[in-house]
Structure formats: structure tokens, C-alpha cells
Amino acid sequence: MSSTLTSENTKGFAYPNAIKIWLFVGVFMVFMQVVIGGVTRLTGSGLSITKWEIATGTIPPLNALQWDAAFAEYKKTPQYQKINEGMSMKEFKFIFFWEYFHRLWARTMGFVFLIPFLFFYFRGWIDKPLLRRLGVVVLLAALAASFGWIMVASGLVNRPWVNAYKLTLHLSIALAVYSTLLWTLFTTFSHYPQVIHISLLKKWGLYIGILLAIQIVLGGIMSGMKAGLFFPTWPQMNGEWIPSVVLKGSEWNSLNFMEYDRGPFMSALVQILHRTLAYILTIIVLWYFYKGMTQASKSIFRTVLPLLPVMIFIQVLLGIFTLLYCKGTVPIGLGVFHQAGALLLLSIVLFLNYQLRNSVEK
């Protein structure tokens, strides 16, 4: 292996397999971090650890005295006082585990990234284009970690839950980390010789990606607001196609938007938007699938394209069943699968868009 690595983006050089495996592991770990975050959110575990200790926080309580101290800190939070008062130590340890696991996984990702990076860098296997992309990933990851604590802190004063908007921002940054790292992984593989020069597919592939990003953001807000609990029915929303609360002009005020949990207005509005965009995306994806299969020649794009409608149908079904089982609480299993499905759908859309690039990156 030459100490001076030539970028495959300019001369078709393939990166070492070790680089590809390293990036794939990174993508998988970010994927799992988002899934673990979903479990943490749905189990109400995010506020169980009340301090942000980067180094010492790596070690959990190891004896009864330390567990009593951690539980005592949690008892000072609004979540315990307003929702979980009287919970047992066993119940506390359960929610503590998920928040601790979420933070530990993030720390582990840091080591999995840093140690191989240093090895590959000093071996000369990381060229400037790859270094730039990895730099963006690191910045986004640091931003996600920072907003993670801001999100948790929003539920430690007055409110018994984390703020839905801050939670969504944290999720959005995490998805940006995932998308950037996945795209970086794509660039390390040799380009396929068949190039698809169909402007309609390129343009609408980008539009689908944008709409999907908006849909995931709406899903994050809906989850943070626990909107499914207000309208756990389908296809109508508690017997109405459009809940009457949304049609009342008096409900459209800044207080309802900021203090979304004071009534059903925001839950109704966000759920309407989330449902409607799901229908729109499904129709566009079916049309796009038809166009792609009839206009694109045999290529990796055409081979992967059928996964797009299959995955969006799975997502729609998961969304519907998650809603229908929101009886007093959001179903953890269905909710987590729905979030994981969003990541898989995003991965497919990113891969298709990568295949449709107009020119190689410089």
C-alpha cells in the first residue's frame, strides 16, 4: 500500500477494505444509537441520570450506597415528583439502564472512531476528500452530544418530560451524522460504470429525500409530544378526518405552539401533517418506482429501486399499528421498529441518490 493515497473520486482508486469495514461499523453503531435513543425515549428513561459527566459518568453505580445516591438525585426531578413518585429501586434501575446504555454506546462510538482513524491516518490511507467528510461527521457528532444534554436538561426543571422540539433537534442532528457517514461509506467503493443521465429521476430522487427528511422531523415532534395518545385511531382521528380543535381559530396562538402539552391542538396538527405527508410520499414513491423501472437501464440503481416502495409500505403499516396500539402509552416495540424503519428508508433513498449523482465529487 502506497503511503500517498489517491482519491478514488478522481482516479478510481479503491480504498482499503479496512477503511470500508471501519466506516460500515460506524454506520451500524450510529444506526443502533438512534434505535437505543428511541427505546430510551419511549421508556421515559432519558431523565434518570441527572448529571452530565463525560469521564466519571462511564462508571455506573456499583453498590447500594451509590444507587441510593443516584435515586435520590432522580427524586428531585419533576418527572419523579409528577409521574413516577413511589417507584421502586428496581423500576429506577430499569430506566437508569437505558439512559446509561445510550450514553455508554455514544462513548464507545468515540473510541471505535478515534483509534482506527489514527492508525489509518498515519498509514496514509485517509486522503483529503475522506478527511473532510470525516471532519464534518465529527462536528455533527459533537453537536448531537451537546444537544443531547440540552434536551435532557429541558426536563429537569418544571417539566416532567424533555422538550419535544429539543428532542427533535437532537434526533435531526443524529440523522445528519448517520446520513453523512453513510454517504462517506458510499464514496469509498468504486463507482459503477453505468451512469444514469435522466434528469427526472435525479430531480425527484432529491425531492423524495427532502420530503422524507421533513417527515422524519415531523415524526420526531409527534413522538416527543406523544401525539399518538390523543388520536389512536386510523384512518380517521377519533371519528373526524380533521379534528375540530384544529379548525378553531382561537387555538392558533403562540401559547399552544410553545406549550404544546396544555391541550390536544398541537398533537392534532402534527399528526395531521405526519399522516398527510406519509400519503403524499407513498404516492410519489410509487410513481417514481414506475418511472425508474421503465426509464432506467439495467444498473445497480434499477436493482435496488424496488426496495423503496417495499420499505415505505412497511413504514406506513408500522405507523398505523403504532397508532392503533397507543392505548394509554406508546407501544415500545412498534415505536422502535417504526423509527428503525425510517432509518432504513432513509438509507435506501440516500443510496439511490448516490447512484444518480451527475458527476463524481472532487
Residue 178 shares a structural domain with residue 166: yes
pLDDT for 148: 79
Between residues 75 and 308, the one the model is more confident about: 308
pLDDT for 362: 34
pLDDT tens profile 248-306: 999 999 998 988 888 899 999 999 999 999 999 999 999 999 999 998 877 788 999 99
C-alpha cell at 125: 490511507
Residue 89 shares a structural domain with residue 106: yes
Taking the C-alpha atoms of residue 338 and residue 316, their distance in angstroms, rounded to an integer, is: 9
Taking the C-alpha atoms of residue 172 and residue 83, their distance in angstroms, rounded to an integer, is: 28
Residue 293 shares a structural domain with residue 219: yes
pLDDT tens profile 8-43: 444 445 789 999 999 999 999 999 999 999 898 888
Residue 353 shares a structural domain with residue 262: yes
Residue 50 shares a structural domain with residue 103: yes
Residue 177 shares a structural domain with residue 267: no
C-alpha cell at 205: 430522487
Domain assignment present for 2: no
- Split into its structural domains, the chain has a count of 2
The CA–CA distances, whole Å, from 67 to 53, 61, 116 equal 16, 5, 35
Give pTM, 2 decimals.
0.89
Residue 60 shares a structural domain with residue 88: yes
Taking the C-alpha atoms of residue 271 and residue 218, their distance in angstroms, rounded to an integer, is: 8
Residues 6+ apart with CB under 8 A from 305: 289, 292, 293, 296, 352
Please provide the average confidence, as pLDDT, over all residues in the chain: 87
90 — phi, psi (to 5°)? -60, -45
Domain extent for 41: 7-190
